[in-house]
Structure 1
């Protein structure tokens, strides 16, 4: 298997429309796709269900323990509809018990520091486990999602997780995403019909008001520049 920098060099020359196909054909055993079951991730899950016939790419999601009931229903519906297994990773129970017992169940409202602690225990630590022996991380990130994400590219190297990050939909707009979902009858979260554009944990997500960006409903009490959980944030 090629090293990380050799893989990056090869991927850099591929058009975004072809990137998933190349990964499936050449790097599936060292690739992982993390889905939050948002519309972008549902598009990629559908694409992988068509391209990755042997199901070699590690498809997974993070159950933080604070998700909406609609998200859990979508997880089951997606696996059945697309005939694809989505492995579920949970927080380490010792870390989670310590977090809640020391800071309270809703610590994230108290400060940005405590919110990031919660995100670390419920998301970052399980994500690190999911990436064991993987070199490529496929995501559903798009430039249009937020001001911070406008700087992201198709192929990146993530220093935090020491992994190649591939963003196949980075240049898609919201209309393209929903056109694909409708055209291919892809399952989606019922909360999208109620004004929720980006859906995470229930206590940290609200519907979006007209004129706000797609991620305005996430951690709405914090500054715009800080509204990442740590999965995709560069210090």
Structure 2
């Protein structure tokens, strides 16, 4: 079991300071997975502007928006650092498409989850292999499912610390920070896309809709998750480390 968050960590309010304290406390690889959404762009800024020893990886599913690839390039250009891609296994992807069709994820939730598994969950497992801690852009106010997100939790399935340095920030605070610091952001955010994933599975949201209402909108919105942040029981991982 890894070290518990110290009182010093939980007392910190600046996400950059939280990340620096995590680096000082944790022995082993620390991996940040970015989707290039606005929260992840803020975290990338904290990591790269402070030159923290944290690996930055993105899950390149092959179905991302063109604007996501644009902000990926803009981020590398601004900070002078490459962001590694974790991609689906070719054989598994070929088998998936042969089974459900290129857009078969619209036809059933099981098919959609199978697609998410091949394109996101399995590449994430490889990206996190051997890591001691995983940094995410989760915020407590993103959805009802995420309301109990904490700064630090224990991911039992992956046996690592899960760290959310923006857990107590609002979207408005994140947006204001990125604007003030000149952080590159996805142009789709200005078009009503609050949560951005794969192009076929993401739409803009209407005023008043929850942030994640634009993800897999054709399904029951009781739990708009792809499998990255849930345990075997299908619930969001939020237990505190021991």
- TM-score normalised to structure 1 length: 0.93
Residue 36 of structure 2 is matched in structure 1 by 37
Query: Does the aligned pair in 1 maintain the 2:9–2:21 contact within 8 Å?
Result: no
Deviations 1:105-142 (A, max 9, x none): 11111111111100000001000100122110011100
Change (3 A) 1:25 1:52: farther
The unaligned stretches of length 5 or more in structure 2 are: 234-242
Q: What is the CA-CA distance between 1:29 and the residue it aligns to? A: 4.3
Q: Distance in 2 between matches of 1:119 and 1:155?
A: 25
Q: Contact (CA 8 Å) 2:10, 2:151: kept in 1 or not?
A: no
In the alignment, which residue of structure 1 is the partner of 2:92? 95
Structure 1 residues 119 and 11: alpha-carbon distance in aligned structure 2, compared to 1, 3 A threshold: farther
After TM superposition, the structure 1 stretch with the greater mean CA deviation from structure 2, 14-23 or 130-139, is 14-23
Q: From 176, 179, 188, give the equivalent of 2:176.
A: 179
Structure 2 match to 1:21 = 20
Confirm or deny: 8 A CA contact 1:11 1:19 kept in the other structure: no
Q: CA, structure 1 residues 103+82, in 2 after alignment: closer, same or farther (shift >3 Å)?
A: same
The aligned counterpart of 1:199 is 196
Aligned equivalent of 2:206: 209
Q: Is 2:211 aligned against 1:220? A: no
Aligned with 1:10 (options 1, 6, 9):
6
Q: CA deviation at 1:172?
A: 0.3
Partner Cα distance (1:50, 1:202) in 2: 29
Is 1:127 aligned with 2:94? no
TM-score normalized by the length of structure 2: 0.90
Unpaired stretches in structure 1, ≥5 consecutive residues: none
Query: Is the Cα contact below 8 Å between 1:206 and 1:217 reproduced in 2?
Result: yes
CA RMSD of aligned residues (A): 1.6
Q: How far has the Cα of 1:22 moved from its partner?
A: 0.7
Give a deviation string over 1:80-124, Cα, whole Å, max 9, x none: 112222101100001000000111011111111111100000001
Contact 1:16 1:154 in 2 (8 A): no
User: In the alignment, which residue of structure 2 is the partner of 1:61?
Assistant: 58
Name the SS for the 2:11 alignment partner.
coil
Distance 2:33 2:71 in 1: 15
Residues 12 and 155 in structure 1, CA contact (< 8 A), matched pair in contact too = no
Q: Distance in 1 between matches of 2:5 and 2:37?
A: 29
Aligned-pair CA distance for 1:24 = 2.9
